[in-house]
Amino acid sequence: FNYSLGYPNDMLPACKIEVPERLTVSHEALVKSGLADRCVSIPVREATEADILLVHSEDYLEAVKKTPFMTLEDLKEFTLQYGDVYFHPNIYHCAKLAAGAALQLVDSVMTGKVRNGMALVRPPGHHSMRSAANGFCVFNNVAIAALYAKQKHGAKRVLIVDWDVHHGQGVQYSFEDDPSVLYFSWHRYEHQKFWPNLKESDYDSVGKGKGAGFNVNVPWNKVGMKNSDYLSVFCHVLLPVAYEFCPDLVLVCAGFDSAIGDPEGEMCASPDIFAHLTHLLMNLAGGKLCAVLEGGYNLTSLPQSVCQTVQTLLGDPAPLPVNLDGPCQRSVSSSVRFMSQMCVCDFVMKVNYIFLFSAHSSLFTVFDQLIGCTEKMCLFFSTLRESFLKDADESDALTTLSSLIALMEQMEKNEVCSGYHLCLVFSNAVPRAVANTVLLCFNLHELQAYFIPLNYCLSDLQWLIKKTDVNTSHVRLFVLPQGCSDVSGFIQAVLGLLLPLGYEYDPSLVLLVRAPESGLSDSVWQQLTGLLQGLAQGHTLVLMQEGEKACVAPTTSSLLGDAAPCLGQLHTSVPEDVEMLERLRQTLQVDWKLLQTTGEFTTATSHNKINTHNLTACTIVIGISVS
């Protein structure tokens, strides 16, 4: 129904956008694209009073309960005590259905009846507070769902990702002192000039008491944020925190007013970015993800964004990411000398980096020497090549090559999406012909993993190194450190280096090579394989040696789209290791914009720890530019 019915003209503009067509166009798009047919529909129910009271006060519930019986005059008056919300005689019923729909979805996901899902609901919920309606929201659907999942299904930790363009202050308030619910929100902020104009929407609201560290705000101080900005924040901020947190359930405040064309958000991200955001969350919590619609007011982009989300939840490969030209450029006219390119969004200017994980320190010494030293890189790669070629058998190389080519041909024809090949021994069989490929190798020796976003095969490396001048711009090759026993460091490298690099490189194929004794556990391997499938439309080719047969089942499961097992809550890092990883990122960010989280510290910088609490190693370092 349309809330605007009967409201005076001066109240119309705001409620003109939150219209019933938002749901009908979204649903029609799902039907037309055939996606609806592939989903299981779950019947809705009304949230019970007990459900609502998980978040809201009795007084507030009693007040809302009376609204169906109020005269229009009384309704208007009732409405006026809240901000930007419109009561209609039917809204109490609808609000109970909206919250109930979220709970039905949580039930279905938590009991394993379905893998994941999306609830298309109105009215939305994330602005609604314990005793107040606000911003089109009556009951806080997602906050209720989080507490319900804890209470009814024993979820220990719930992650709420709010990608709506508005700050879900209602959700933040509900869980401010609660370490069992981690709330992440990015939102248009413009230095508090944008609605709801709250100081507490800023980056420095990190939670209170025991919940300190479990609230993460990313305020955008400019409009026009694009795909790169969203992916950057996911890779560098949300995902490291989320992986460390290790949720049992992921809830998404899925507002699509953060997409291009939205009159409220004025951002520039394309609808297909939601496929990637969704994909990046799908290996958390064993894949248990419930998205609940919040905002989204452009009736053209909204249904596209909804389809992208649902399609990804169904397991379809995400489309190639578009327009990844790095996070937004610093604004020249600004009076502050920014430390980062992303910092226009002030957030990263102030919160430079969230240090979370460590990596194996002895390895770092090696990398340290390699970077910036061409000769040593040559030596390293010739050694590496020798170890690959050692014992290599020409016929096995040929078999491998033809198998890979066959698989790639099938990928081109879209007959297969991904695949693996078991070979006797690695050789230089990695095909020359593959252009635009990301090659990832996991090697058994001291240098555990390296990443070559190039169309070169191993035997070309010598040539590559010669062409590469480390001091100029095109170092297209880097080494990923991996501490064998250190899952934290490895995951940090994957999220903070590998993924952004992969996204920016935009390969058409990912070749993932796993050497024996790589030191990777199945769950880490599956996380890696799963996350990488966001690249290259899911075209992943895995190369393993025959001795690694035990790995075939987990690999296949990941390639087929099963969620990777959780890694458990990750531990604290060794500062030197984190620093080394950060140094690596800084070296590489010259060429790779998606690695730019912190720019030069052009002026004296003070580091203030604003929160060293509880997120085990969560130290937020703020650099304050003094110029």
Q: So which residues are the catalytic ones?
A: 127
Rounded to the nearest angstrom, the gap between the alpha carbon of residue 238 and the centroid of all alpha carbons in its chain is 6
DSSP string, 522-551: HHHHHHHHHHHTTSGGG-EEEEEEGGGGGG
**CB-side exposure of 326: number of CA atoms within 13 Å?**
18
Q: How far is the CB of 124 from Zn ion (least distance, A)?
A: 7
Residue 473 neighbours by CB distance under 10 Å: 10
Q: Are residues 182 and 143 in contact, defined by beta-carbon separation less than 8 angstroms?
A: no
Question: Interaction with ligand Q6P in 125-164: which residues (CB under 6 A)?
Answer: 125-127, 135-137, 164
Handedness of CA 266, 271, 273, 279 (dihedral sign): positive
Among all chains, which residue has been given the structure tokens 């001048």?
469
- Specify the residue, 259 or 438, whose C-beta has the smaller distance to ligand Q6P: 259
164 binds Zn ion (CB under 5 A): yes
- Specify the residue, 25 or 621, whose C-beta has the smaller distance to ligand Q6P: 25
- Encoded one letter per residue, x for contact with ligand Q6P by CB under 6 A and - for no contact, window 78-117 reads ------x---------------------------------
* Among 120-128, 320-328, 355-363, 567-575, the segment contacting ligand Q6P (CB under 6 A): 120-128
Left, alpha or beta for 136 (phi > 0: left; psi -120 to 50: alpha)? left
Q: How far is the CB of 570 from ligand Q6P (least distance, A)?
A: 32
Paired with 187 in beta bridges are 219
By beta carbon distance, the residue nearest ligand Q6P is 295
- Specify the residue, 184 or 364, whose C-beta has the smaller distance to ligand Q6P: 184
In the list 100, 117, 124, 419, the residue contacting ligand Q6P (rule: CB under 6 A) is: 124
Q: How far is the CB of 167 from Zn ion (least distance, A)?
A: 9
- Specify the residue, 119 or 137, whose C-beta has the smaller distance to ligand Q6P: 137
Structure tokens at 317: 């490969």
Instruction: Give the count of residues interacting with Zn ion (CB under 5 A).
Output: 5
In the list 207, 287, 295, 327, the residue contacting Zn ion (rule: CB under 5 A) is: 295
Query: How far is it, in rounded angstroms, from Cα 578 to Cα 359?
Result: 7
Query: How far is it, in rounded angstroms, from Cα 281 to Cα 307?
Result: 17
- Specify the residue, 46 or 164, whose C-beta has the smaller distance to Zn ion: 164
Q: How far is the CB of 478 from Zn ion (least distance, A)?
A: 38
Q: How far is the CB of 257 from Zn ion (least distance, A)?
A: 4
Q: How far is the CB of 257 from ligand Q6P (least distance, A)?
A: 5
Q: How far is the CB of 176 from Zn ion (least distance, A)?
A: 20
- Specify the residue, 188 or 613, whose C-beta has the smaller distance to Zn ion: 188
Rounded to the nearest angstrom, the gap between the alpha carbon of residue 44 and the centroid of all alpha carbons in its chain is 28
136 makes contact, choosing from ligand Q6P, Zn ion, none, with CB < 5 to 8 Å by partner type, with ligand Q6P
Question: Interaction with ligand Q6P in 185-244: which residues (CB under 6 A)?
Answer: 195
In the list 244, 257, 316, 346, the residue contacting ligand Q6P (rule: CB under 6 A) is: 257
Residue of 215, 216, 211 whose CA lies nearest to 177: 211
DSSP string, 218-260: EEESSS---HHHHHHHIIIIIHHHHHHH--SEEEEEE--TTBT
By beta carbon distance, the residue nearest Zn ion is 295
Query: How far is it, in rounded angstroms, from Cα 319 to Cα 227?
Result: 13
Q: How far is the CB of 256 from Zn ion (least distance, A)?
A: 9
- Specify the residue, 165 or 318, whose C-beta has the smaller distance to ligand Q6P: 165
Q: Are residues 437 and 476 in contact, defined by beta-carbon separation less than 8 angstroms?
A: no
- Encoded one letter per residue, x for contact with Zn ion by CB under 5 A and - for no contact, window 244-273 reads -----------x-x----------------
255 binds ligand Q6P (CB under 6 A): yes
203 makes contact, choosing from Zn ion, ligand Q6P, none, with CB < 5 to 8 Å by partner type, with none
- Specify the residue, 4 or 455, whose C-beta has the smaller distance to Zn ion: 4
Query: How far is it, in rounded angstroms, from Cα 422 to Cα 241?
Result: 35
Instruction: Give the count of residues interacting with ligand Q6P (CB under 6 A).
Output: 17
Q: How far is the CB of 142 from ligand Q6P (least distance, A)?
A: 9
Mutual orientation of helices 361-370 and 575-588 as an angle, nearest 10°?
30
Handedness of CA 568, 574, 577, 581 (dihedral sign): positive
Question: Interaction with ligand Q6P in 270-309: which residues (CB under 6 A)?
Answer: 294-295
178 binds ligand Q6P (CB under 6 A): no
Structure tokens at 358: 């460590």
Exposed/middle/buried for 333, CB within 10 Å: 0-12, 13-18, 19+? exposed
- The DSSP letter of residue 495 is I
DSSP string, 545-576: EGGGGGGHHHHHHHHTTPPPPP--S--PPPHH
Question: Interaction with ligand Q6P in 6-35: which residues (CB under 6 A)?
Answer: 14
> What residues make contact with Zn ion under the rule CB under 5 A?
164, 166, 255, 257, 295
Which residues bind to ligand Q6P, rule: CB under 6 A? Answer: 14, 84, 124-127, 135-137, 164, 166, 195, 255, 257, 264, 294-295
